[in-house]
Amino acid sequence: MIVTIKNDDGEFLFDINKIDDEAKRQEAGVIVQKVGNLSVVIEALDFASRTHRANLEQLLTSCEEAKIEQTNEESEDTEPSSDDS
């Protein structure tokens, strides 16, 4: 398995299958698997978050009674809330 490592020193290719030490080879394989799984989870969470935000926006825009008119003074003094709960 070929792995690409990108850091400040450049880009390096490694072939995990060529590691002589069996324990290190297995550890490298496990780490690659964990990184892959985490990447999938991050992508899934990002998709879910964007979907929920879009659904909330759609729901709120259909509820005119909940809309609050902002004055120029309010928009300058008040930070928008980031509380999604």
Model-wide pTM > 0.75? no
More confident residue, 71 or 76: 71
Q: How far, in Å, are 11, 18, 35, 65 from residue 42 at the CA level?
A: 24, 30, 10, 36
What pLDDT score does 23 carry?
Answer: 98
39: pLDDT confidence band, cut at 50, 70 and 90? very high
What pLDDT score does 14 carry?
Answer: 97
What pLDDT score does 56 carry?
Answer: 97
What pLDDT score does 78 carry?
Answer: 57
Domain boundaries, the chain: 2-58
How does DSSP classify residue 8?
A: T
Which of 28-64 are b and which e, b meaning 16 or more Cβ less than 10 Å from the residue's Cβ?
beeeeeeeeeeeeeeeeeeeeeeeeeeeeeeeeeeee
Whether the predicted pLDDT of 65 surpasses 80:
yes
